[in-house]
Amino acid sequence: MKDWDRWLQEREWSPVQPEEFRALPADEKLRRIRHSAAHVMATALRQVRPGARFAIGPATEHGFFYDVRLDAPLTPEEIKAVQEGMGQVAKAKQPFEVAVVPHAEAVEYFRDKGEQYKLDILEKLVDQTVTFYRNGDFVDLCAGPHVPDTGFCHYVKLLAASPAHWRGEQNPSLQRVSGTAWDSKDALKNYLAFVEEAKARDHRVLGAALDLFSFHPWAASALWHPKGLIIRNELGRFWRELQPEYGYVEILNPVLYKPELFHQSGHWENYHEDMFIVRDQEGDPDWAIKPMNCPDTMLYYKTSAHSYRELPLRVAESQVLHRNEVTGALHGLMRTRSFVQDDAHIFLAPEQVQDEIRQLLELVDRFYSVFGLQYSMKLSTRPEKFMGEIEQWNAAELALKEAMEAAGREYWVDEGDGAFYGPKIDISIQDSLGRKWQCGTIQLDFQLPQRFELEYMAQDGTRQTPIVIHRAIFGSLERFVGVIVEHFAGAFPVWLAPVQAVVLPISDEKHLEYAQEVTARLRKAGVRAELAQYESLNYRIRQAEKQKVPYILVVGDREQEERTTAVRRHKVKEQRVAPVADVVLEISDKVKSRELDVHVATMAAAKFVEPSAATTEENPY
């Protein structure tokens, strides 16, 4: 075997220049600190697990991770040892140095070292010169850039070690060791406080505490409890009330189809590995559960002839969809195998695209403003694997750009992240903690109308092929519920709260009859009200606060005599006494207007979100 220690010494290693680093903008410095922290962690991890095999270790939005092959998951004691080792590596101020290495020699080096994941990466870099970075004894295939030395990675904290997949494998074979890295002690302290708040708001925790939903390993999605179903139904009612105003009609199609539908649409070739397929006795595909609503909406369009006078034709559907997501990608409501999507497909003529997208952006504004959610947009362009002609893709991408610019919207371009059938506008909502969740999408599609031979009679009497816009705003309804549970920390606006008011008699003996009367009046007015009795008043108030009920109504001697109620609002110190009729009207008005009557607490999100430090799932090459 080659003397690799000597070979490494013979490389021309160049240090990272401190002057160059100091001249960088603050966000780029932070990105480099985080990327370098992944190498510092790997250096320390190798001391704890010498047999570790490394895959990729990029910077992320708030820190870093390294995907690693280990014989067994890291124990809490080992994670603590890695954290302590990182401190020692940072204290040693090991210089980061870079060397240019011929591709063939890099392959030979990592083959002898048994680093299969590095060899997989090098397969995509054939005929290229690559770079190695080293600090101390740790040498890595890496495009950089890095900080001058490990001393810049002092304010670092490991956060988790979890299963991870390598390039499309079904079962996770790696451990993702992740952490956060900052440029000061205060910044790290603030972020860790943010992490603790995020844990407290975890929808899986709040979902159980508020009796909204639960999860079971045998289930493809959540088990919806009565209170959680109320939230789902209220969101659906909101969706159905708003869409007719914009000219939508709603349809309902089956979930099960013959594979021919997906061959026709192109999904079988590009997506069948992510579908649930029912096979016949010979093991051949017989039926498929649909993973999206697009193909069968094309069938609906073909049920009748269409004229230009009907366009745009806006068709909505919210059917249950199923996708065979890999186990490691599943996460509560945020990523499930069974979900409902608020889909719509808009059939239109080319000259209608810009006006339609402007209307869609207006609809997006109205949807998200109801929940106090801000959002950002990106244009995702042609991926490596795509259907159709490049000229069509270029035209579609240009149409989306022009529409957003004509509407005065800011966006950024994510090259290669479009759907296989067309470019798209991806909409990420930002919650009260400053975290971004990709929910909505607007996709321009020239391909499906052609594949299904869709037509409309144009004004000049010719038969033309419509363009289709795929549109979702909630996106997955399950994910949206998970987002708003965490966004509101479970304290929903009155219109969305599963229980809008709870009535508490001070004494069951003296005030129960009046409390029942108040509860009945609320329910008759359509208010979701409950009556709580038996336990002490203080206990019942505490329970109502824990359940985050918006209105806590207490009745005693005075209230019974004056036909009033003492009103307590969740998280509001001031209390008041008001006539029951006024309280009923107040709640009803808030429900009718869908008032955002809760304080959406923020945690100075700007401290934690650096636009140039976007998360990447790829090796820095």
136 pairs with which residues across the strands?
A: none
Closest-CA residue to 45 (of 86, 88, 76, 73): 86
Tokens of 137: 């004894």
Rounded Cα gap, residues 78 and 84, in angstroms: 10
CA distance 148 to 32: 10
470 among known catalytic residues: yes
Helix, strand or coil, per DSSP, at residue 467: strand
Residue 560 in tokens:
């019974």
Active-site residue, 280 included? no
Q: Give the β-pairing of 285-289 and 467-472.
A: unpaired
d(CA 438, CA 436): 7
Q: Is the peptide bond before 145 cis (omega within 30 degrees of 0)?
A: yes
Name the active-site residue from 35, 118, 232, 470. Answer: 470
Q: Name the catalytic one among 31, 34, 94, 294.
A: 294
Structure tokens at 281: 């006795």
Catalytic residue among 243, 341, 447, 560: 341
Beta bridge partners, 445, equal 468
Whether 294 is a known active-site residue: answer: yes
- Using DSSP's 3-state secondary structure scheme, residue 285 falls into strand
Residues 6+ apart with CB under 8 A from 366: 242
Point out the catalytic residue in the list 31, 290, 345, 528.
345
Per the annotation, the verdict on 547 as an active-site residue is no
Is 589 an active-site residue?
A: no
Asked about 431 being catalytic, the answer comes back as no
Tokens coding 554: 């207490």
CA distances to 16, 138, 141, 152 from 99, rounded to whole Å, are 11, 13, 10, 21
Q: How far apart are CA 82 and CA 95, in angstroms?
A: 20
Before 383, cis peptide (omega within 30)? no
Both structure tokens of 569? 């609002």
Q: Which residue type occupies 23?
A: A
Instruction: Please give the single-letter amino acid code of residue 165.
Output: H
* Distances, alpha carbon 160 to alpha carbons 41, 86, 360, 493, in Å: 12, 15, 39, 33
- Gap between the Cα atoms of 78 and 172, Å rounded: 21
d(CA 461, CA 307): 9
Q: Is 341 a catalytic residue?
A: yes
Give the CA radius of gyration of the chain.
29
Among candidate residues 32, 62, 176, 323, the one labeled active-site is 323
Q: What span, in angstroms and rounded, lies between the C-alpha atoms of 471 and 348?
A: 13
Q: Which of the residues 67, 140, 296, 343 is marked catalytic?
A: 343
Q: What residue type is assigned to position 452 of the chain?
A: F
Which residues form the catalytic set? 294, 323, 341, 343, 345, 424, 470
